[in-house]
């Protein structure tokens, strides 16, 4: 039996000064997509049957920020029930910065647009879409110079100072090369373009996440391995895929984050099977130079002998120690329905597989 019980959920809407409302007792559905690239991650939320006054505040764009706290067990500290849904100052502690055992912050972003509608004559809703780091991605601009003798670490600190007006701070960073540049450098343009260049020189990737900039190399991890099994929320069997790692589904757990580690029982991973067209590739009844037909699914080796053709696709690597790195997360939830889970695309730690095009497209979406 799973240790998770009693769902916990808070939707926090606030303005730039931190004043806003906490919504937790409504029917709310949400869909969140996290990927490990620089593009802002999206969250789509639908809130049902709000009071006209609250609905008007949201539609009038009185709130610019959205945070989602979800998971299981416990209640948010210092949030009296009588205050839920009221406009007031909201502290960092109240919005899930301090995690409970199994609940915490799973999304933080800028509200992109809002719209209202109805499912029927009695059930109305307000739809909100938010993007993490959207404002800073679009607006952060730098105009500065560095004198000769600067290093990439100096570039990083300069870029972070340019992000301070947007409330963005530095997060994870790689080991910067010790190269000392003999000439000065001018910076003029969008900050995200210079972050691209900096990350490339460090063989890393960067992204805005939870109000910070994370820059990580392929081998850097966000947290140590979290053991996933039927007692800690694992749903079904993890699925090995073709060229896209291992897909895992579990109950919502804010302790599992992008580029963090999870540990699975290898016996629980369902191994994928190659289809016939993948098993037999190469020469398909094509004529040889001498006019004879080549056997189906056969190719000639270096000595001229017919051998089985190699498959066109290979199953993704599985971890011998059961430890995987999380590269993509989708959260789906319904406070009055069955949906309350997260799906992850993971790769074996240390794997050198060539990702499939479908996996790369999903990461860049």
Q: Specify the CATH number for the domain of residue 100.
A: 2.30.110
Question: Is 80 exceeded by the pLDDT of residue 364?
Answer: no
Which pLDDT does position 94 carry in this prediction? 44
358, 230: one domain: yes
Asked if the structure places residue 217 within a domain, the reply is no
Question: Is 60 exceeded by the pLDDT of residue 319?
Answer: no
Asked if the structure places residue 331 within a domain, the reply is yes
Which pLDDT does position 114 carry in this prediction? 96
The model's pLDDT over 20-74, given as tens digits with 9 standing for 90+, comes to: 999 988 999 999 998 877 777 899 999 999 999 999 999 999 999 999 999 986 4
320, 286: one domain: no
27, 109: one domain: yes
Number of domains in the chain: 4
62, 90: one domain: yes
117, 153: one domain: no
Asked if the structure places residue 60 within a domain, the reply is yes
Tell me which H or E stretch contains 154. Answer: helix 152-163
Domain stop point among 99, 132, 165 = 132
43, 13: one domain: yes
b/e code 181-213 from CB counts within 10 Å (16+ = b)? eeeeeebeeebbebbeebbeebebbbbbbbbbb
Q: Range of 198's domain?
A: 137-209
Asked if the structure places residue 216 within a domain, the reply is no
Q: Which residue has the higher pLDDT, 349 or 140?
A: 140
CA dist 135 and 115 (Å) reads: 20
Q: Which residue has the higher pLDDT, 317 or 298?
A: 298
185, 202: one domain: yes
Asked if the structure places residue 48 within a domain, the reply is yes
Q: Quote the longest CA-to-CA distance of the chain.
A: 87
C-alpha atoms less than 13 angstroms from C-alpha of 241 in its C-beta half-sphere: 19
The model's pLDDT over 223-282, given as tens digits with 9 standing for 90+, comes to: 899 988 888 889 988 888 755 578 999 999 998 998 999 998 876 665 555 555 444 444
Which pLDDT does position 48 carry in this prediction? 97
The answer to which of 189-203, 220-234, 258-272, 282-296 has the lowest mean pLDDT is 282-296
332, 356: one domain: yes
Which DSSP state fits 271?
P
Mean pLDDT of the chain: 80
Which pLDDT does position 98 carry in this prediction? 37
The model's pLDDT over 87-123, given as tens digits with 9 standing for 90+, comes to: 444 444 444 433 445 788 999 999 999 999 999 989 9
In 3-state terms the chain splits into helix, strand, coil percentages (rounded to 5) of: 15, 35, 45
359, 302: one domain: no
79, 157: one domain: no
Which pLDDT does position 269 carry in this prediction? 63
């Amino acid at each position: 039996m799973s240790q998770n019980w009693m769902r916990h959920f808070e939707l926090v809407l606030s303005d730039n000064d931190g004043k806003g409302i906490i919504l937790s007792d409504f029917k709310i559905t949400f869909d969140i997509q996290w990927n490990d690239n620089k593009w802002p991650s999206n969250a789509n939320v639908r809130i049902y049957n709000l009071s006209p006054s609250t609905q008007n505040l949201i539609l009038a764009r009185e709130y610019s920020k959205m945070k989602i706290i979800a998971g299981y067990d416990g209640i948010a500290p210092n949030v009296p029930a009588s205050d839920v849904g009221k406009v007031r100052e909201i502290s960092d502690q109240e919005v899930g910065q301090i995690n409970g055992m199994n609940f915490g912050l799973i999304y933080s972003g800028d509200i992109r647009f809002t719209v209202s509608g109805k499912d029927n004559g009695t059930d109305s809703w307000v739809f909100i879409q938010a993007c993490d780091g959207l404002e800073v991605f679009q607006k952060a601009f730098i105009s500065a110079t560095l004198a000769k003798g600067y290093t990439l670490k100096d570039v990083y600190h300069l870029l972070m100072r340019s992000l301070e007006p947007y409330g963005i701070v530095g997060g994870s960073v790689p080991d910067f090369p010790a190269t000392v540049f003999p000439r000065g450098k001018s910076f003029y343009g969008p900050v995200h373009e210079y972050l691209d260049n900096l990350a490339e020189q460090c063989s890393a990737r960067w992204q805005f996440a939870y109000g910070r900039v994370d820059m990580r190399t392929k081998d850097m991890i966000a947290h140590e391995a979290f053991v996933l099994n039927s007692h800690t929320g694992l749903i079904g069997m993890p699925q090995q895929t073709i060229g896209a790692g291992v897909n895992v589904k579990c109950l919502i757990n804010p302790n599992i984050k992008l580029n963090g580690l999870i540990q699975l029982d290898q016996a629980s991973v369902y191994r994928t099977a190659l289809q016939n067209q993948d098993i037999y590739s190469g020469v398909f009844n094509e004529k040889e130079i001498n006019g004879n037909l080549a056997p189906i699914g056969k190719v000639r080796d270096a000595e001229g002998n017919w051998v089985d053709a190699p498959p066109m696709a290979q199953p993704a690597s599985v971890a011998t120690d059961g430890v995987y790195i999380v590269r993509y997360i989708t959260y789906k939830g319904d406070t009055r329905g069955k949906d309350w889970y997260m799906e992850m695309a993971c790769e074996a730690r240390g794997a050198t597989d060539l990702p499939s095009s479908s996996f790369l497209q999903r990461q860049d979406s």
